[in-house]
Amino acid sequence: MTRTIDAHQHFWRTAAQEQPWRTDAHAALERDFLYDDLVPELDAAGVDATVVMQSVDEPAENDRLAEFAAEGRIAGIVAWLDVRSGTAALAELERRSLPKLSGVRCLVAKDPLHWLGDADVLALFRELAARGLAWDVVPITIDQVRAVTTLARAVPDLQIVVDHLGRPPLDTGGWDPWASHLTELAQSPNVAVKVSIGIDALTAWNAWDREAIRPYVEQVVAAFGPSRLMLGSNWPVVLLRASYRDAWTDLRSLAFDLVPDETGRAELLGGTAERVYHLGEV
pLDDT value at 21 more than 80: no
24 pLDDT above the threshold of 80: no
pLDDT at 45 over 80: yes
Residues 6+ apart with CB under 8 A from 280: 274
Q: What pLDDT, on a 0 to 100 scale, did the predictor assign at position 212? A: 96
Q: Model confidence over 140-167: pLDDT tens digits?
A: 999 999 999 999 999 999 999 999 999 9
Q: Give mean pLDDT, residues 82-89.
A: 97
Identify the burial level of 197 via C-beta atoms within 10 angstroms of its C-beta, where 0-12 means exposed, 13-18 middle and 19 or more buried.
buried
Domains of the chain: total: 1
Instruction: Cis check for the bond before 189: say yes or no (omega within 30 of 0).
Output: no
Residue 124's SS3 state is helix
Do 82 and 92 meet the contact criterion of CB atoms below 8 Å apart? yes
| Domain of residue 203, residue span | 5-281
The partner residues of 230 in beta bridges, in order of sequence, read: 194
- Kindly tell me the burial class for residue 249, based on how many C-beta atoms sit within 10 Å of its own C-beta (0-12, 13-18, 19 or more): middle
The confidence score (pLDDT) of residue 96 equals 80
Residues whose CB is less than 8 angstroms from the CB of residue 261 and which lie 6 or more positions away in sequence, other chains included: none
CATH of the domain at 112: 3.20.20.140
In what order do the strands lie in the sheet containing 229-231? 5-9, 49-53, 74-80, 101-105, 134-137, 160-162, 191-195, 229-231
Neighbours of 46 (CB within 10 A): 12
Residue 281 banded pLDDT, cuts 50, 70, 90: low
Q: Say yes or no to pLDDT of 36 above 80.
A: yes
Q: Residue 6: in which H helix or E strand, if any? A: strand 5-9
CB distance 178 to 169 below 8 Å: yes
Q: How confident is the model at residue 16 (pLDDT cuts 50, 70, 90)?
A: low
- Least confident among 6-15, 137-146, 191-200, 258-267: 6-15
- Residues 165, 196: contact at Cβ < 8 Å? yes
Q: Report the C-alpha gap between 3 and 269 in whole angstroms.
A: 7
Q: What is the pLDDT of residue 194?
A: 99
Closest by CA position to 8, among listed 134, 145, 185: 134
* Banded model confidence at residue 2, pLDDT cuts 50, 70, 90: confident
d(CA 75, CA 91): 24
User: What does the DSSP 8-state code read for residue 240?
Assistant: G
The whole-angstrom separation of Cα 159 and Cα 134 is 5
pLDDT mean over 172-196: 98
Q: pLDDT-derived band of residue 282, with 50, 70 and 90 as boundaries?
A: very low
Exposure string of 150-164, with b = 16+ CB inside 10 Å and e = fewer, is: ebbeebeebbbbbbb
Q: CA nearest 139: which of 172, 163, 118?
A: 163
pLDDT of residue 15: 65
User: What does the mean pLDDT of the chain come to?
Assistant: 95
Which residues face 42 on adjacent strands?
none
Question: What was the pLDDT predicted at 280?
Answer: 81
pLDDT at 28 over 80: no
Express each pLDDT in 231-244 by its tens digit. Answer: 999 999 999 999 99
Cβ atoms of residues 188 and 165 within 8 Å: no
